[in-house]
Structure 1
Amino acid sequence: MSIKGYNVTSIDDFVGRELGVSDWVVVDQARINAFAECTGDKQWIHVNEELAKRESPFGGTIAHGYLTLSLLASLAMEIGVIPEDASAGLNYGLDKVRFMTPVKAGARVRSRVTLTSVEKKGGGRIVVKTINELQVEGEEKPALIAETLAMLVV
């Protein structure tokens, strides 16, 4: 998706504005299991459905916090955070992350992104900071709020 009027030249005009909201994405047990396999984090609360139903305070398995955090990159791309006229957009880091609500297996999440700052670094590089709120359908509090940094290459 592209954001009307949003490009490398006009990016400063968008500071303080919401850039958009992604579509909903299902965080199902298969995704949670795949993340557990990739990372080696096979804690029972994520992968043992029977035990989680009996013992978890959430009534079932939940997604890894880092799994939910990792979704922000693709959801930001869907929204169009990287302007179409940038040659590349690279993850540059995180300034602050807070995990607020667990994401239960089968839940739907989406990201709401606001541009908070733009810093021109010279040499065709621009650092953009966004606040990303990963919302969980049907929950009052978001799953997480993260300040992310991306390096745009012009």
Structure 2
Amino acid sequence: MNPIAIGSFEDFEKYNGLELGASDYFRITQGQINLFADATIDHQWIHTDPERAKNEGGFGSTIAHGYLTLSLVPHLWEQIVQVQNLKMMINYGIESLRFAQAVTVDSEVRLVAKLKNVANLRGTVKAEVEVKLEIKDQKKPAFTGVLVFLYHFH
């Protein structure tokens, strides 16, 4: 699927209340988990010790940090929507974020997005996007929430 091209408030408005699509699946590796642990100084064994996680963790393997899965949003979001004619974008907030299921190492995840609401605030476009990070072959998502972006177009 090709990303939806958005270049103005009017472009966003056409999709208000509609599902925008889904990204490709993305595999989360132990290498990525380890790099995230280094970057965030969160070396909890359930993330970084495969042998201990296998024997003691309850998931059969290491799991990705919840915030690692959340940090994939920009990469996956641009596979769904490509915002053009952009002067600046601001990550404004996250509402109702819930981590519903652990993501085990080597799982594949994808982002599914729906435009919950869009508003023109004196030239700044506020987009509220319902997101769900699906885990391939699992019923429950890794997380759900509403992301709020502010877009300033040229």
CA shift for structure 1 position 18: 0.9
TM-score, scaled to structure 1: 0.92
Instruction: Give me the CA root mean square deviation.
Output: 1.3
1:62 counterpart = 2:50: no
Task: Return the offset for 1:74.
Answer: 1.6
CA contact (8 A) 1:109 1:137 kept: yes
Question: Alpha-carbon deviation of 1:145?
Answer: 0.5
Q: In structure 1, what residue type is equivalent to 2:116?
A: T
* C-alpha distance in 1 between matches for 2:3 and 2:51: 43
Hey, what does 2:42 align to over in structure 1?
A: 41
Aligned to 2:138: 139
TM-score when normalising by structure 2 = 0.92
Q: Distance in 1 between matches of 2:77 and 2:151?
A: 13
2:79 and 2:124 map into 1 onto residues whose CA distance is 22
Following TM superposition, where does structure 1 have runs of at least 4 consecutive aligned residues deviating by more than 6 angstroms? none
Tell me the equivalent position of 1:100: 100
Contact residue 52 and residue 60 of structure 1 kept, 8 A: yes
User: Counterparts of 1:6-85 in structure 2 under 5 Å?
Assistant: 6-8=6-8, 9-80=10-81, 82-85=82-85
Residue segments in structure 1 that go unaligned for 5+ positions in a row: none
Cα deviation, 1:23-50, whole Å, max 9, x if unaligned, reads 1111110000000000001100000111
Structure 2 gap ranges (5+): none
How many residues in Structure 1 have an aligned counterpart in Structure 2?
151
> In structure 2, the residue corresponding to 1:127 is in which secondary structure?
strand
Identity %: 34
Q: Deviations over 1:61-112 (max 9, x none)?
A: 00000111111122112211x5323333221111110001110000000000
Distance 1:2 1:57 in 2: 38
Paired amino acid for 2:137: G
Q: Who is 1:153 aligned against?
A: 152
- Cα distance in structure 2, aligned partners of 1:85 and 1:117: 20
Give distance in 2, aligned partners of 1:34 and 1:83: 29
What CA distance in whole angstroms lies between the structure 2 residues aligned with 1:10 and 1:78?
17
The 8 Å contact of residues 22 and 78 in structure 1, kept in 2 or not, is answered as: yes
